[in-house]
Protein backbone atom coordinates (compact mmCIF):
# COMPACT_ATOMS: atom_id res chain seq x y z
CA UNK A 1 0.00 0.00 0.00
CA UNK A 2 1.53 3.28 -1.10
CA UNK A 3 1.65 6.24 1.22
CA UNK A 4 -0.03 9.37 -0.10
CA UNK A 5 1.92 12.58 0.21
CA UNK A 6 0.03 15.20 2.22
CA UNK A 7 1.11 17.92 -0.18
CA UNK A 8 -0.40 16.04 -3.13
CA UNK A 9 -3.80 15.61 -1.48
CA UNK A 10 -3.93 19.28 -0.47
CA UNK A 11 -3.75 20.35 -4.10
CA UNK A 12 -6.65 18.25 -5.40
CA UNK A 13 -9.06 20.60 -7.13
CA UNK A 14 -12.80 20.23 -7.30
CA UNK A 15 -14.61 20.47 -10.61
CA UNK A 16 -15.01 24.15 -11.49
CA UNK A 17 -18.81 24.21 -11.17
CA UNK A 18 -18.76 22.66 -7.69
CA UNK A 19 -15.90 24.92 -6.64
CA UNK A 20 -17.80 28.05 -7.75
CA UNK A 21 -20.99 26.84 -6.09
CA UNK A 22 -19.23 26.20 -2.77
CA UNK A 23 -17.33 29.48 -2.92
CA UNK A 24 -20.47 31.47 -3.72
CA UNK A 25 -22.41 29.69 -0.98
CA UNK A 26 -19.64 30.39 1.52
CA UNK A 27 -19.54 34.07 0.59
CA UNK A 28 -23.35 34.29 0.81
CA UNK A 29 -23.38 32.68 4.28
CA UNK A 30 -20.62 35.02 5.47
CA UNK A 31 -22.55 38.05 4.15
CA UNK A 32 -25.69 36.86 5.95
CA UNK A 33 -23.69 36.38 9.15
CA UNK A 34 -22.21 39.85 8.78
CA UNK A 35 -25.68 41.33 8.25
CA UNK A 36 -27.04 39.52 11.31
CA UNK A 37 -24.14 40.78 13.40
CA UNK A 38 -24.74 44.36 12.30
CA UNK A 39 -28.49 44.17 12.78
CA UNK A 40 -28.81 42.04 15.93
CA UNK A 41 -25.38 41.94 17.53
CA UNK A 42 -23.70 45.32 17.34
CA UNK A 43 -26.38 47.50 19.05
CA UNK A 44 -26.57 45.38 22.23
CA UNK A 45 -22.78 45.06 22.37
CA UNK A 46 -22.51 48.86 22.15
CA UNK A 47 -24.88 49.15 25.13
CA UNK A 48 -23.04 46.42 27.05
CA UNK A 49 -19.57 47.90 26.47
CA UNK A 50 -20.36 51.62 26.42
CA UNK A 51 -23.31 51.67 28.78
CA UNK A 52 -23.58 52.29 32.49
CA UNK A 53 -24.44 49.34 34.75
CA UNK A 54 -27.10 49.89 37.38
CA UNK A 55 -29.65 48.01 39.42
CA UNK A 56 -33.27 47.91 38.31
CA UNK A 57 -36.61 46.44 39.33
CA UNK A 58 -38.67 44.44 36.83
CA UNK A 59 -42.37 45.30 36.99
CA UNK A 60 -45.00 43.32 35.11
CA UNK A 61 -46.96 45.63 32.80
CA UNK A 62 -49.21 43.15 31.01
CA UNK A 63 -49.69 39.41 30.92
CA UNK A 64 -49.29 37.70 27.57
CA UNK A 65 -50.73 34.39 28.74
CA UNK A 66 -49.16 30.96 28.39
CA UNK A 67 -46.12 30.56 26.19
CA UNK A 68 -46.01 28.40 23.07
CA UNK A 69 -44.73 25.41 25.05
CA UNK A 70 -47.72 25.28 27.42
CA UNK A 71 -49.02 22.28 25.50
CA UNK A 72 -45.84 20.42 26.48
CA UNK A 73 -46.64 20.73 30.16
CA UNK A 74 -44.58 23.59 31.57
CA UNK A 75 -47.49 26.10 31.61
CA UNK A 76 -45.14 29.07 31.84
CA UNK A 77 -46.90 32.40 31.58
CA UNK A 78 -45.21 35.28 29.82
CA UNK A 79 -45.51 39.00 30.41
CA UNK A 80 -44.33 42.39 29.22
CA UNK A 81 -42.03 44.02 31.78
CA UNK A 82 -41.09 47.59 32.57
CA UNK A 83 -37.72 48.22 34.17
CA UNK A 84 -37.38 50.96 36.78
CA UNK A 85 -33.94 52.37 37.57
CA UNK A 86 -32.19 55.64 38.39
CA UNK A 87 -29.85 57.27 35.90
CA UNK A 88 -26.48 58.84 36.75
CA UNK A 89 -28.16 62.06 37.89
CA UNK A 90 -30.54 60.15 40.17
CA UNK A 91 -33.57 60.74 37.93
CA UNK A 92 -36.08 57.86 37.97
CA UNK A 93 -36.38 56.09 34.63
CA UNK A 94 -39.01 53.55 33.58
CA UNK A 95 -38.46 51.77 30.27
CA UNK A 96 -40.56 49.05 28.64
CA UNK A 97 -39.89 46.72 25.75
CA UNK A 98 -43.30 46.99 24.11
CA UNK A 99 -44.53 43.82 22.48
CA UNK A 100 -41.77 41.61 23.93
CA UNK A 101 -43.30 38.87 26.03
CA UNK A 102 -40.98 36.68 28.12
CA UNK A 103 -40.73 34.75 31.34
CA UNK A 104 -37.16 35.72 32.20
CA UNK A 105 -38.20 37.84 35.20
CA UNK A 106 -40.72 37.86 37.99
CA UNK A 107 -42.70 40.86 39.12
CA UNK A 108 -40.57 42.93 41.53
CA UNK A 109 -37.33 41.08 40.78
CA UNK A 110 -34.13 43.09 41.24
CA UNK A 111 -31.88 42.80 38.20
CA UNK A 112 -28.79 44.41 36.71
CA UNK A 113 -28.96 46.30 33.46
CA UNK A 114 -26.78 48.48 31.27
CA UNK A 115 -28.13 51.62 29.63
CA UNK A 116 -26.75 54.42 27.48
CA UNK A 117 -26.68 57.64 29.56
CA UNK A 118 -27.62 59.83 26.59
CA UNK A 119 -30.45 57.46 25.60
CA UNK A 120 -31.94 55.38 28.47
CA UNK A 121 -34.29 53.65 26.00
CA UNK A 122 -31.22 51.74 24.83
CA UNK A 123 -30.72 49.21 27.59
CA UNK A 124 -29.69 45.60 28.07
CA UNK A 125 -30.73 43.46 31.03
CA UNK A 126 -28.49 40.85 32.63
CA UNK A 127 -30.58 38.00 31.16
CA UNK A 128 -30.41 39.55 27.69
CA UNK A 129 -26.64 39.96 28.14
CA UNK A 130 -26.35 36.25 28.93
CA UNK A 131 -28.10 35.37 25.67
CA UNK A 132 -25.95 37.94 23.86
CA UNK A 133 -22.82 36.13 25.07
CA UNK A 134 -24.18 32.71 24.04
CA UNK A 135 -25.32 33.76 20.57
CA UNK A 136 -22.16 35.83 19.97
CA UNK A 137 -20.07 32.75 20.74
CA UNK A 138 -22.14 30.62 18.35
CA UNK A 139 -21.91 33.36 15.70
CA UNK A 140 -18.15 33.58 16.16
CA UNK A 141 -17.67 29.80 15.80
CA UNK A 142 -19.82 29.59 12.65
CA UNK A 143 -18.13 32.65 11.13
CA UNK A 144 -14.66 31.26 11.87
CA UNK A 145 -15.60 27.87 10.40
CA UNK A 146 -17.06 29.43 7.24
CA UNK A 147 -14.05 31.76 6.87
CA UNK A 148 -11.69 28.78 7.14
CA UNK A 149 -13.72 26.85 4.59
CA UNK A 150 -13.70 29.84 2.23
CA UNK A 151 -9.93 30.16 2.66
CA UNK A 152 -9.49 26.47 1.80
CA UNK A 153 -11.60 27.00 -1.33
CA UNK A 154 -9.72 30.14 -2.40
CA UNK A 155 -6.19 29.05 -1.49
CA UNK A 156 -5.61 26.97 -4.65
CA UNK A 157 -6.68 29.94 -6.75
CA UNK A 158 -4.44 32.38 -4.89
CA UNK A 159 -1.26 30.34 -4.75
CA UNK A 160 1.07 30.15 -7.70
CA UNK A 161 2.34 26.61 -8.29
CA UNK A 162 6.13 26.20 -8.08
CA UNK A 163 7.86 25.22 -11.31
Residue 101 lies inside a defined structural domain of this protein: yes
Q: What confidence tens digit (pLDDT) does each residue in 67-79 have?
A: 666 555 566 788 9
Those residues whose C-beta lies under 8 Å from the C-beta of residue 57, and which sit 6 or more positions away, are 83, 84, 85, 108, 109, 110, 111
According to the model, what pLDDT value does residue 162 have? 64
C-alpha 40 chain-centroid distance: 6
Residue 42 lies inside a defined structural domain of this protein: no
Phi-psi region of 84 (alpha: psi -120 to 50; beta: other; left: phi over 0): beta
Residue 80 lies inside a defined structural domain of this protein: yes
Distance CA 95, CA 114 (A): 12
Residue 38 lies inside a defined structural domain of this protein: no
Owning domain of residue 116:
52-121
φ, ψ for residue 74, nearest 5 deg: -85, -20
Residue 99 lies inside a defined structural domain of this protein: yes
According to the model, what pLDDT value does residue 4 have? 47
Residue 63 lies inside a defined structural domain of this protein: yes
Residue 103 lies inside a defined structural domain of this protein: yes
Tally of domains within the chain = 1
Contact by Cβ (8 Å): 149, 25: no
According to the model, what pLDDT value does residue 133 have? 95
Q: What confidence tens digit (pLDDT) does each residue in 52-65 have?
A: 999 999 999 998 88
Residue 3 lies inside a defined structural domain of this protein: no
| Residues of the chain with confidence (pLDDT) below 50 | 1, 4-9
Please give the full DSSP string across 24-86, using - where no structure is assigned. Answer: HHHHHHHHHHHHHIIIIIHHHHHHHHHSEEEEEEEEEEEEEEE-TTGGGT---EEEEEEEEEE
According to the model, what pLDDT value does residue 99 have? 79
Amino acid sequence: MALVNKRQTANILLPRSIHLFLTGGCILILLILLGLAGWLGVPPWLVRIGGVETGAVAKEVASCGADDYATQGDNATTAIFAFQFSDQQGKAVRETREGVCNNLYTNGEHISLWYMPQNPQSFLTDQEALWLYVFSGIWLCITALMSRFLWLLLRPLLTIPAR
